[in-house]
Every structure is written in C-alpha cells, then in structure tokens.
Amino acid sequence: MEQTTTRQGATAGLPEEGRRRVVIEGVKPEIDGGRYPVKRVMGDRFVVEADAFTDGHDRIAALLRYRHESEAEWRETPMALLVNDRWRGEFQVTEPGFYVYTVTAWADRFLSWRHDLERREDAEDILVALQVGAGLAEATAKRAPGEDRKTLQAWARKLRDAKDGRQGRFLGLAEEFSAVMARHPDRRLATEYDRELRVWVDRERARFSTWYEMFPRSCLGDGQRHGSFKTCESRLPYLAEMGFDVLYLPPIHPIGISKRKGPNNALVAGSDDPGSPWAIGAAESGHKGVHAELGTLGDFRRLVDKARALGIEVALDIAYQCSPDHPYVREHPEWFQHRPDGSIQYAENPPKKYQDVYPFDFESEGWQSLWRELKSVFDFWIEAGVKIFRVDNPHTKPFPFWEWAIARLRAEHPDLIFLAEAFTRPKVMYRLAKLGYTQSYTYFAWRNTKQEITDYFTDLTRGEVREYFRPNLWPNTPDILTEYLQYGGRPAFMVRAALAATLGASYGIYGPAFELSEGRAREPGSEEYLDSEKYQVRHWDIERPDSLREFIARLNRIRRENPALQQDWNLRFFPVDNDALIAYGKFSDDQTNFVLAVVNLDPHNPQAGWLELPVEELGLAEDRAYQMHDLLSGARYLWHGRRNYVRLEPSQSPAHVFRLRRRVRTERDFDYFL
C-alpha cells in the first residue's frame, strides 16, 4: 500500500532554517564556553580567531561582530582566512567595561562564483559564467542604495553584453566590481555563533603597575611613637623617587583589644602593644572607621590626594574578618559561627590559630544582609577616593559572593582594580580571576631555580590562563620571608627584585623591609619575620647606605622607559649553558623595543656562561656586530652573532638588563646605533 505523508508530518522535527550551511566553532578567546569574560586594557587590539567552514567547495565570508555594553548597535569588521579554515579578526577596545563579541559567516555565492571564474579557461564556459555573474550583480543591486545600485546595474549589463570570454573574465574579476559587491553581501542564510562572548576592559594600571606595601604606623622613623597618615605624607617623595605608582596600606581600622597579639605573635600583649591591623574593629568602629592614632578620615583623604599629585594611587586592604570587639560581633552575632558552648569560633588554619580574629559565617541565615554590608565597605572607601583594593584571603570566602559583589562594584566604577591575595591551589586562584579579580599574587616567591621559573612563567604567559589571570609578583610580604631571602643576603634581594621587575608587568615589594634586606626569621624553618611589623611598630632607617633604593629606582625607571617590560605575554626564555644563569627577553608590540634580562640565580658566587639569541628574529645579521646596553650599570657591550659570553658577580650586580641597540649604516658609510 502506498504511504502518504501529511504536510505537518513532512516538516515535523526539521530545523527552523536548514539552509544555513556554515559551521562556526573553536572561537578563541573563549573561557569555559563563554561563562567568564577574558581581560584586556584600554587601547588593546583585541584579536579573535574561529574555525568557519562549509560543505562542498563554496567560498565563505566571515565577520567579527562587537559592541560596547553601552551600545545598542553592533559594529562589524571582516575576518581574514589564515589557514585550514581558521579565521582571524580584530578590533580596538577603547572604553572601560564590557565589550560583547561574536562571529558570523555565510557561504558567499559571489565569492564562490569569482573563485571559479578565475579557474575557467574555456571561452564558452566563461560566457555562461558571466551570465550567472550578471544575475548576482542584479540581485545585489536590489539591496544596494544610491550610487552602488547604479554601479551594479551597469556592471550587470557589461557582463551580459560581453562577447569575448577573455575580456569578460577581466570585467568579472575587476577589483572595483568585487569591492561594491562586498559591501552588500547576501547574509540571509548566515550562521551566527551560538553565543555572545565578553571581554572586560580595564585601565592601563591593571596590566602595568608597581606596588609598595607600607605600614603607616611605622612611618614616623624613631620606632617609639605611632606613625600617622600625616607622617606617611613625608614618605611619599621617597616612594615617588623609587618609581612606585601604587602605595598599598594594610588595614587602617581600629584594632581590637580582646585577644590582642603581642610581639612575634605572642598570645599575651602588653598594654602598649599595638596589635595586628588585621584584627579589625574596636568598640568605636569597624571596617568603615580609621584607627585614631593614624588620624581622621579627612587625614586619609589628604594622603590619597597628596599621593595622587605624585602619580601614586593609594590601595587599601580589605580583610573580611573581625576582632572580638568589632561592632558587628555585638550587633550581628548571626553573621558568625558559634561553638557548642555559645562562644564565637575564632579563625584557624591548623596548626595556626588566630585567636584575635573572627571569620564571617557565609552559610548563616543572615547571609543576605551580610553580603550587602560587606559590599558597602567597598562603597565607603571608594567614596573616600580609593580605586585599588588588595583583598586579604579571598579564597576563604564564597565564590558566589565575589561574583555578585565585584560585578555590582564594577558596574558603578569600571576603573576599580582588585588584587587577590590568594596563596592557594591554582584552580582556586584561577576561579577568583575569572570571577573578576583584576590581578593576583602568585607562586613567584617560591620559584627559585631556572627550570622552576621557566616552567611557571611559560604556563602563565602561553596558556589559556593568560586570558584572565594577571600575575602580580611579590618577592616578599609581611607574611612571607622565603628561605632564599633569609640566607642569600643583599644579593638575594637584588636577584628577586630584578626578576620580579622584568618577568612581570606588575610587581610589588613589602618595604622598607625589602630595600633594607630584612632577612631575619622568627625561628629556623619559619617564613615569619623576627619582630614582625604585623605585631609592633618598627623603626626603618631608610637612609642606610646599604639600602637598595637606588637599585630599585633604576629597575623601575627601566620599566617606565621600555614598553617591552609593560606586558606579560611577550616573555620568551633563551638558552644559557649554566643552570645558575637565566636569560629571557621581551619585545614591544611594535617590535622597536627589545629588552633582554640575564640574572645570576646564585646569590653567593660569580657565574658565567654562553648565551644564545635568535639573531634572525631580532633583525640582526650573523656577521655584523650589535650593541647591548646594560640599563642597570650603563655599560655597553659589543656582541657578535648568536653566542655571547656573560659573567655576573652577585656582590656587585647579579643581573644585566640589556636594551638592544642595532647598528645602522648611513649613506656616508657612518655607523651609529639605534
């Protein structure tokens, strides 16, 4: 029996439009299927690649579509075919905030026709093809406005009237004809990538910044009295002369009395011991208050303004924890975790105990009011003039909270910068970066050998993680005094400063402990400082003749003057036949600035070796000399070819930071260097 199919049955299960033949996949950059945005800074050329292809032999066209979140209309730019169906397009991001981007592509009948016409040889075939081309031109003319319509109609007539195949093919392949047709493609059956992706655009300091951490209470100089915001002002020229553009202050709030820690983290504090700034809150106020001995909120605002006048931004520590005396403990006990006896659980990271700190309970019934209050802490300090925040231990607070809070804060203030102090597992650090943290501390402090450094920074600058994770390199912090610094002496501090300043576009030091080579540990095997500034006011003689301030100032000046050092992705390591020596270089985007760093990782002994450079990639001839200018010492070296000898004495300077100067010959046969 003959079967029949109803009209409804014939279309059941069919796609809405089955004639869209192009496949789009493999779009890069794309993080977790578009769940998270990638990151760039204002002025960047944002490059997007995608695989786009179709069945058969038809040619396709592809466009990169983009718009700023504030725009309703899409902008478009053509994508170019690279190889093997891989396409690339780019646009410039000029405003802070989110840009949205996607890819569209279609089988283009005109491009396919033109491609075939180039290959046709038989005159009769060409004449037939010209009639097809005329039909395409006429159809396109109906979509085209004004002069383009007239031009296409005229071109269609020329193609139809052509009698000579050779002359007709010349007409069909004319660039003028192709240009007009390209302006009005038939996109009715275009494939749109199935998601819209996002890129978050920060200001320049998000990528290139130089941080200095300082306890304001130790700014007075004599170590006996408590410093203040006003005494900090006198330290600002010192920081500016060293070339720092971010001054990071640990918490500036009132410090609790109950369970206050004494010197060297002693469980019992004396009556004059100042306590840890991270034990936030006293009877008078908490996270929105200022420690009385530091001054007033007005004094803080003045410090922010004075710093800004010198090109320095003040960054503030946000630590979501409370001393037992914090008003939150009294007013909102539901925000804390309670022990079976009813007492509040203090912070622990066994075997470490922090009896002077209560963590928040983000799983409490009052979580919604807690979230709102914690965001308001940011709001308060933003209103006071702060745009950069270093967040203490963000990995111990829920990911959903950070995603919510950062999104709302950045919607109101897209110029904010958040530094995550999360020394934890890589996946946790990366998740925080995806959720909105602008920069992150890294494992740099503990990467000491050439292989460790090479492997780690290759991972950070070559893999997908670079799209959203911006490293900020710190050789020391108030919590981290590595074994390398404890036993390496002054040269070790020079080594780590040179590495941090040249490996990373953003780095920071905890000073004046760093420039004064403070390497005394509380006890063997500990990374805690002896007489840690976390628990007492310290006297720092910043005028000491052995200070590294001049060395650090030179490093920072080199960073400012060489665009190659102001980004991370351009890092490349070079072979040296001595494992105690590491060599790496960076090119600026326009390839005009090349900086080569060579560092002796052994702080105790001179080291020498032969370094290899890819001279052809540097635009150098094998048989010509070129000059390497050591920007640290001012010395100039004449090098030849690929292999050159280097020797570094750590007691003098454990590092070279070279700028390549190319030999140029003038019309008068006179050599000079650029």
Instruction: Give the residue numbers marked as catalytic.
Output: 392, 421
Beta bridge pairs of residue 358: 322
- Across 325-360, b (16+ Cβ under 10 Å) vs e yields bbbbbeebeebbeeeeeeebebbeeeeeebebbbbb
Cα end-to-end span (Å), the chain:
89
Which residues 6+ apart lie within 8 Å of 24 measured at CB?
Answer: 50, 51, 52, 62, 103, 104, 105, 191, 192, 193, 194
Contact 507, 477 (CB under 8 A): no
Rounded CA-CA distance 137/181 in Å is 7
Contact 382, 413 (CB under 8 A): yes
Beta bridge pairs of residue 646: 609
Give which of 161, 102, 103 is closest to 130, Cα–Cα: 161
Q: Specify the residue for token string 């105690």.
A: 580
534: left (phi over 0), alpha (psi -120 to 50) or beta: alpha
Rounded CA-CA distance 230/541 in Å is 18
Contact 406, 318 (CB under 8 A): no
Half-sphere exposure (Cβ direction) of 670: Cα atoms closer than 13 Å: 2
Residue 108 CA, distance from chain mean position? 39
Residue 486's CB is within 10 A of a number of other CB atoms, namely 17
Rounded CA-CA distance 541/280 in Å is 28
Which phi and psi angles does 579 have, rounded to 5°? Answer: -70, -10
Beta bridge pairs of residue 550: none
Task: Give the CA angle between residues 36, 40, 41 to the nearest 5°.
Answer: 140
Which phi and psi angles does 523 have, rounded to 5°? Answer: -160, 160
Residue 633 CA, distance from chain mean position? 30
Which phi and psi angles does 626 have, rounded to 5°? Answer: -145, 155
Contact 74, 55 (CB under 8 A): no
Rounded CA-CA distance 70/66 in Å is 12
Strand pairing report for 636-640 and 625-630: antiparallel
DSSP calls for 281-334: --SS-STT---TTT--HHHHHHHHHHHHHTT-EEEEEE--EE-TT-HHHHH-GG
Q: Write out the E strands in 461-618.
A: 506-510, 571-574, 581-587, 594-600, 607-612
Rounded CA-CA distance 142/188 in Å is 14
